[in-house]
Amino acid sequence: MKQQKNRIRLLDVLRGFAIIGTLGTNIWLFAQPGNIMGVFSNENWWESFASFLTAFLSVFVNGKFLSLLTILFGIGLELKYRKAMREGLPWIRMYLWTMLLLLLDGLLHFIFVFEYDILMSYALTGMIVAFIIRYREEIIKRSMIVSAMIHFTGIILVSIGWVFLIKDEVFLSEMARMSHETTQLYANQSYCQQIQFRMNDFWGLRIEAILIIFMNITLYILGIRLFRAGAFSNNDKAQRIRKKLMIYGLGIGIPLNLLTLVPGGFFDIASRYVFAPILALGYIGLFAWVLQKAWAPWLIKRFESIGKTALSCYILQNILTSIIFYGWGLSVAPLSSAYVVILLWILLTIVMMGAAEFFVKYIGTGPLEYLWRKLSYSPFKK
């Protein structure tokens, strides 16, 4: 009970919101396996209401919850660091062990469930930031700036290449061929063949997880610095910080992310990997404001439960979505109807809410969280 009382409710609510939003991005990959172009591009969004709806959701969902979840992982690292210092635990050995467990979890998730797993990338980022967090504030700040500059430079170069690539007929033809093969694999072939595909093309399927490492480092440290600045405390200073996050995050983030609707692909990459974190900060301020106003208490309570069981719900949602869409399950993919995809997103969210309530009621947390915590701290307890 002590652990439950010491939890910061806003962080749980945000974590739950991020998990639901992550499903809102990933479900399109399940519905149309292999269609990577659909994740990055909103071409011809004006042609139908379904296209408009898909693009509209992309503006507010695609990449935004990846960024929000990354910031929250950084805050979680800071909380673990404080606990280690408070209890005299060996920080580096303990946290590297914890990240190795997360890396293993992510690897198993990648092999047996979903090739776009984010846990492996978070584990590698955590191993790096675990060393940075021990230094004085100035070095931490410089590390964040340097990683942000490296990431931003890389995104500019990739964006320039992307604009030329999506106009190249040979590239588009090759992407269409690969997309068709992947669609056939997940729609018609066995579970074992899908596992073999993920293992055979391990590095190709892990390219995003590697390329976003510097973005992850930046957002981890940003989360740490926000927490140290008092943004999640219960006082007037914290409210002022969160109000600024909401005003500037939404006020700047929404217009920037709307640029993804500009034809030509100029902002496709930047929207997911540069503009998205700005809007994610706005979401932090927005949900803090909603929580303060005590609006939609039933819904907020459901988000909170999912946040307390975030790791378990993340794995669960991908297992359930695999069963629904893949050929070894209900074989719904490939699914082109945006309305049906959105309906399934809502239904899966309701299922997650029920599962999270069950976990919290009978375990106090998610089963994977319980196991991970036991394995993480047991070797280092005095």
Mean pLDDT per 10-residue section of the chain, whose length is 382 residues: 65 96 92 76 78 88 93 96 92 95 96 94 97 96 97 93 85 86 92 95 90 96 97 94 97 94 84 94 96 92 96 96 95 91 96 96 93 87 65
Beta-carbon count within 10 A of 148 CB: 19
Percent of the chain scoring above 90 in pLDDT: 74
- Tell me whether the omega of the peptide bond preceding residue 367 falls within 30 degrees of 0, making it cis: no
Predicted pLDDT of residue 17: 95
Which residues lie below 8 Å from residue 48, measured CB to CB, with a gap of 6+?
none
Residue ranges of domains in the chain: 2-380
Tell me the C-alpha distance between 307 and 292, whole Å: 18
Per the CB < 8 A criterion, the answer to whether 287 and 14 are in contact is yes
| pLDDT of the residue at 1 | 36
**Cα(332)–Cα(377) distance, integer angstroms:** 42
CA 63 to centroid of chain Cα atoms = 7
Rg (CA), the chain: 20
Q: Tell me, what's the pLDDT at 91?
A: 95
User: Considering the entire predicted model, what is its pTM?
Assistant: 0.94
